[in-house]
Structure 1
Amino acid sequence: MLIFKEIQLLPEIFLGISIIYLIIHGTFISVNNKYLLIQNSILYLSILIIAMFCFLLLNNSIEYNNFQIFNNTIILDYLSFSSKAWIALISIFCFLMVQRYLAVQKINYFEYSVLILFALLGIFFICSSNDLITAYLSIELQSLSFYIMAAMKKDSAFSADAGLKYFILGAFSSSLFLFGSSILYGVSGTTNFEDLKNLFFLTYLEYESIYGVDNYSFVKHVFIDGGLIQFALVFIFVSLLFKLAVAPFHLWSLDIYEGSPSSSTFFFAVVPKLAIFILIIRIFYSSFFEYSIKWRYYIVVVAMLTVIVGSFGGLEQKKLKSLLAYSSISHMGYTLIAFSTGTFEGMQSMLCYLFLYMIAGLCIWSIFLLLQLKYKYSKKQNKDLTDLNLLSKSNNILALFFSTVLLSIAGLPPMVGFLVKIGIFLVSIEASMYFVAILSILCSVISTFYYIRIVKIMYFENSVAGKLYYPIQSNISILVVCLFYFLLFLFVNPTLIYLFSYKITLLLTMTVV
């Protein structure tokens, strides 16, 4: 049976092989002049591939066990299973939502969908990584795809500039991760998360029986240099903070969000956040929990700085994508606050917040892509806040959906966003982080201003006439309605998301212990 243990990685193997066949299919279609619009064909095939990936993933019967395969570099457990299933489901919605935008922007390259699938393959491997080298290669696979997606609009200087900036700063953050990993390997002799965890949890009796030394701390520091390990972990953590666009490592995200095609920004903002946090959990909760507790207060400082920057930075923004970028920064700050508590409840609140952030982000960016203005300058696609002028007059249902989701992620009671945000405040108070809780509550109130300002523009802006929009396809409208009603369901019965995060956290803590 051990020979066939690697077959549990069948969903990722299927996805990789399907990408190769999709490249061949796209190449043959693109050289045939009969098929001018090849993007829809590749897009629907990509959705089918992700759906089949979900089917194979759900048919894996061992997601509750910790299977380590490929020389223990990949782990298959409930954490990886649930995160991959959630990301795959969100990705299907993303593919459906970007279809019309790609047609309007004339991004008729089959490579675009292939790049998204490559990025998803890297994200899935990040969720299952059990080794620093595997994690680095997975991050690079995801990042290289995102670099090209940012610069995919060839006739736009802003897109090329965004792709170049993303490449330079992304390569810099990856180099920090690689440098920290090399120091860890030099100190411990391994890059495997499980081996690192076992190395730091050797008992005193094992040391005494082998070396006959009575001082455990002395023996520990003979073989393991704690200062070097903390030094290496700082580099790894800073690298991952770059990927999350956390302050003060957030400056790249504003230009890249604004300059990239909106469909690419959609993926940057929604899909990869959960996978990076899963990797942070595996490194800092499973392998180096003892060391992460020592500099927990530095994480708190970074989290508070992120919340402050995200809350105050969005106040003066007049472009909608830049405002959503600052909103994403502040949400990552709240997630880091829950992570820094180091408690079971903090982990549960963090996962709840991430799940809800992805749903709300999917709904907001879907509405952003659906609203195609009737400009006489057709090349202008990025929206100012004034472009939402009197949206309630032209499409009152869409304005209602947009307002509800915005107020939900702002944390306005009694919506589901308020419930998960107050959960983070409560766990920080239980962890005796009173100043952090008070400051984060104040910043949450301040950030509510720029969400309410969007609602004010949609409903109460003084203007003779509102903007004109192209009609929305009925099938896409149904998807937006489904997302909205799912948020309403979570508002009526938030037990679902709490039970889901509780089970993941419980199984994770069992593996840590």
Structure 2
Amino acid sequence: MLIFKEIQLLPEIFLGISIIYLIIHGTFISVNNKYLLIQNSVLYLSVLIISLFCFLLINNTIECNDFQIFNNTIIIDYLGSFSKILIAIVSIFCFLMIQRYLTVQKINYFEYSVLILFALLGIFFICSSNDLITAYLAIELQSLSFYIMAALKKDSAFSVDAGLKYFILGAFSSSLFLFGSSILYGVSGTTNFEDLKNLFFWVYSSYDCTQDASDYTFVKDVFINGGLIQFALSFIFVSLLFKLAIAPFHLWSIDVYEGSPSSSTFFFAVVPKLAIFILLVRIFYSSFFEYTAKWRYYIVILAVLTIVVGSFAGLEQKKLKSLLAYSSISHMGYTLIAFSTGTFEGLQMLFCYLFLYMIAGLCIWSIFLMLQLKYKYVKKQNKDLADLSSLSKSNNILALFFSTVLLSIAGLPPMVGFLVKIGIFLVSIEVSMYFVSIVSILCSVISTFYYIRIVKIMFFENSTAGKLYQPIKSHISIVIVCLFYFLLFLFINPTLIYLFSYKITLLLTMTMM
């Protein structure tokens, strides 16, 4: 019976075995001089592996809402399955988009695609983690791959510097996670999310106050008042905020995003955010929901600080990657507001916003990687905002697509981004967070300026000489058109995104009961 239970983990097992075979394949073709472009072969095989992974996930029958395997350290439920399918689909688009960039930048290492697959395997395990130790190992598997991806260009001092900063601060955040987990284990005797939820439910509902006074005082101080529990959870929470680049723990992200290869920054900015929020929901909404009133106000303060930093600091940026990094920071602040509400509607808007953020980010970074300047700027990796000047004259349709997506994530009505942002403001008002709503709305208006500035540069910048761009391959343009029309469809009929987030939240609350 145990074997049939563990077969529910077949997609991850398939991905792990495929990575091993891919390493063997890449090792053999790398010593053969006939294969000059090693990366292309491994990249297309990676797309095939992720596609088969999605197929296995879709056909993987979940017998119940709360299916736990491997001594209850991994949970197979609808929340994890939906999130893994979404991350896998976005990853397929990422693989297709970075192919040309890797060829232009002469990144011809088969290890690059293998590192991305290792990171994805860690992300998938984060979505299914039901134990602090499992979550830590999954985060480390993802993070170690990201460190190497950031420092992959050994001939670039910026890339090596970005990888070193990422490694040092990532190791520091991991140590915080381990420290908080060890304190939590010392207090409760377990690191399993389900056991922690049952333990605290029993303490709150069934403890007999007529027992020995000293024992009751100890239980009250440790569990009900939650001194040590709060202390341990604060370390775990700060560690995960490092991964999300929430202010004031965001300082590493600007240098890492700017110095890393743009294909690596693509993955850092788009793919792992959803998995970290899934882990946060499992910890704070499932296992420690009784402490909502105690941790909620600290999260609100951090969310407002993150929005303010992302909105104001982005105004002075001259480079597009730094501007997009601050944009990502401000968006994480909006998601943190939805997370802090502690309500069903707040969770629904959280998943709704993350879904839209991933699709819009995929479209923006795909266009960023597609735009390659001709002639003496052909090897230039990072783009200034001035490099987008007169884009409307050379490729009017692409400039229109780029502008529409930017205005959507800026929250201009009547784009779909406006509908999602107004939903977050409404759920914060429903829980009486009026000051937070006002500050968030004002910062949203301020941050709209640097999105409009990009549009102004593309359409209305007066330049003495127009920029010349490399031609775009047909399959890349097809992907961009599909992403744009998908966002346009969500604008015309946003029912899909609301229904998707509602189903995920409903299934999550069913497993929490």
Question: Do the aligned residues in 1 keep the contact of 2:353 with 2:420 (CA within 8 Å)?
Answer: yes
Aligned in 2, Cα 1:278/1:31: closer, same or farther, shift over 3 Å? same
- The residue type equivalent to 1:139 in the other structure is I
Distance 1:446 1:240 in 2: 27
Note the C-alpha offset of 1:213. 6.1
The 5 A counterparts of 1:358-369 are 358-369=358-369
Q: 1:276 is matched with which residue?
A: 276
Which range moves more in the overlay, 196-205 or 219-228?
A: 219-228
Note the C-alpha offset of 1:222. 6.4
Q: 2:425 is matched with which residue?
A: 425
What TM-score do you get using the length of structure 2 for normalisation? Answer: 0.97
Coordinate RMSD, CA, aligned: 1.6
Which range moves more in the overlay, 112-121 or 373-382?
A: 373-382
Q: 2:254 is matched with which residue?
A: 254
Distance 1:364 1:483 in 2: 10
- What are the ranges of 5 or more consecutive residues in structure 2 without an aligned counterpart? none
The 5 A counterparts of 1:214-229 are 218=217, 220-221=219-220, 224=223, 226-229=226-229
- The residue type equivalent to 2:66 in the other structure is N
- What are the ranges of 5 or more consecutive residues in structure 1 without an aligned counterpart? none
Note the C-alpha offset of 1:205. 7.2
Aligned in 2, Cα 1:208/1:84: closer, same or farther, shift over 3 Å? same
Deviations for 1:174-197, whole angstroms, at most 9, x for unmatched residues?
000000000000000000000000
Question: Do the aligned residues in 1 keep the contact of 2:221 with 2:227 (CA within 8 Å)?
Answer: no
What TM-score do you get using the length of structure 1 for normalisation? Answer: 0.97
Aligned in 2, Cα 1:21/1:3: closer, same or farther, shift over 3 Å? closer
Q: 1:195 is matched with which residue?
A: 195
Note the C-alpha offset of 1:208. 3.2
Q: Number of aligned pairs?
A: 512
Question: Do the aligned residues in 2 keep the contact of 1:338 with 1:347 (CA within 8 Å)?
Answer: yes
Q: 1:395 is matched with which residue?
A: 395
The 5 A counterparts of 1:455-474 are 455-474=455-474
Question: Does residue 1:355 correspond to 2:350, yes or no?
Answer: no
Note the C-alpha offset of 1:365. 0.1
Q: 2:496 is matched with which residue?
A: 496
Distance 1:214 1:424 in 2: 46
Distance 1:63 1:52 in 2: 21
The 5 A counterparts of 1:116-155 are 116-155=116-155
Deviations for 1:409-429, whole angstroms, at most 9, x for unmatched residues?
000000000000000000000
Question: Do the aligned residues in 1 keep the contact of 2:339 with 2:346 (CA within 8 Å)?
Answer: yes
Deviations for 1:447-480, whole angstroms, at most 9, x for unmatched residues?
0000000000000011233210000001110000
Q: 1:65 is matched with which residue?
A: 65
Note the C-alpha offset of 1:509. 1.3
Question: Do the aligned residues in 2 keep the contact of 1:415 with 1:491 (CA within 8 Å)?
Answer: yes
The percentage of aligned residue pairs carrying the same residue is 85
Distance 1:102 1:352 in 2: 32
Aligned in 2, Cα 1:374/1:430: closer, same or farther, shift over 3 Å? same
Q: Please give the secondary structure, in 1, of the residue aligned with 2:33.
A: coil
Which range moves more in the overlay, 303-312 or 463-472?
A: 463-472
Aligned in 2, Cα 1:25/1:207: closer, same or farther, shift over 3 Å? same
The 5 A counterparts of 1:25-424 are 25-62=25-62, 65-202=65-202, 206-208=206-208, 212=211, 218=217, 220-221=219-220, 224=223, 226-424=226-424
Aligned in 2, Cα 1:394/1:205: closer, same or farther, shift over 3 Å? closer
Question: Do the aligned residues in 2 keep the contact of 1:207 with 1:216 (CA within 8 Å)?
Answer: no
Question: Do the aligned residues in 1 keep the contact of 2:372 with 2:378 (CA within 8 Å)?
Answer: no
Question: Do the aligned residues in 2 keep the contact of 1:63 with 1:76 (CA within 8 Å)?
Answer: no
Aligned in 2, Cα 1:189/1:478: closer, same or farther, shift over 3 Å? same
Question: Do the aligned residues in 2 keep the contact of 1:63 with 1:81 (CA within 8 Å)?
Answer: no
Distance 1:350 1:407 in 2: 20
Distance 1:419 1:170 in 2: 35
Q: Please give the secondary structure, in 2, of the residue aligned with 1:108.
A: coil
